[in-house]
Amino acid sequence: MRSAKPFLALLVCESLAGQAARAEPPFGAQGPEGEPNREQQWRVPTPDADVSAHAVLFRPQGEGPFRLALIAHATTQNVLRRAQMPQPEYRALAAFLVARGFAVLVPERLGHGVTGGKYLEDQGGCDDADYVHAARATADEIALPLQFLRAQSFIRKDGAVIVGHSAGGWGALALAAEDAGSISAIIAFAPGRGGHANDFPNQVCAPHTLVASVVEFGKAAGVPVTWLVAANDSYFAPDLSRRLAGAFRSSGGKVDFRVLAPSGSEGHWLAETESGVRIAGPELDRALKLQTPAAAKKR
């Protein structure tokens, strides 16, 4: 009988080779800088120790240290659409922020596009949606790359800004309880979950639950929030967004709510377009100057 050792050794070698091929690259820069705005691919940590997130970093010329702006992208409950999502870049918004002296990180979250991994932000069914869980899961995925970038020599330890879009903005609201010295402002473009229920415009899953959930984030909020929504947003229309911002404020959160001019054919994508960023520009500049007393003392 032939020995099985050579065959087993081959299997072990193939297994190790496969593991090596699948091994995650180290965190940090993944290649040279490019243009515009020193664009560079990075890998950053996620709540899953086995999966690093793809991210793109933009920054001004010079060595810094720069204030950090982290842009948190939108999501979808549809598994196929999440898997096919292109890596988020928000180039127009990033260019706006770089021009104002910020380094800008746009990380992709678990369960999306090339990053893959398990989707942690599931809100559940439409009627029994758990919007608090979804927001806190998103917040965790924002906080880890934020902490990682803050440890880089070219990034300031204070004065970070979180810019969230849709579900990314919803997760950002859950970070409003963070230390106001390390996060100086949150800018939320049409934050929410459950919009376009069953793919119908102006239909939201369990809107009363959404309003009740945002109260939880306002209770401990210390970071000021600028809440922006386009007049023609069919995911979280101005009337609903106003109710959400009001509930956040009434529970203790500090929020500046603004309805902006219509943007394109669908205002929900305002944060992703050059024309939308131009519309939002004055409010963005206003928000970026917000300073809490704690942050002001550290400057």
What does the pLDDT look like over 222-241, one tens digit per residue? 999 999 999 999 999 999 99
State the DSSP H helix or E strand holding residue 91, giving kind and residue range, or none if neither.
helix 91-98
| pLDDT per position as a tens digit, 34-69 | 999 999 999 999 999 999 999 999 999 999 999 999
| pLDDT per position as a tens digit, 240-281 | 999 999 999 999 999 999 999 999 999 999 999 999 999 999
The sheet with strand 28-29 has its strands ordered as 28-29, 40-44, 53-58, 102-107, 67-72, 160-165, 183-189, 225-230, 255-260
The mean pLDDT value of the chain amounts to: 90
> What sign has the CA pseudo-torsion 56, 286, 258, 294?
positive
The C-alpha atoms of residue 197 and residue 26 are separated, in whole angstroms, by: 39
Token pair, residue 52, equals: 């690093």
Global pTM value: 0.89
Residue 298 predicted with pLDDT over 70: no
Token pair, residue 220, equals: 């401990």
Token pair, residue 53, equals: 């997130």
Task: Please say whether the beta carbons of 248 and 199 come within 8 A.
Answer: no
The C-alpha atoms of residue 16 and residue 215 are separated, in whole angstroms, by: 50
Residue 160 predicted with pLDDT over 60: yes
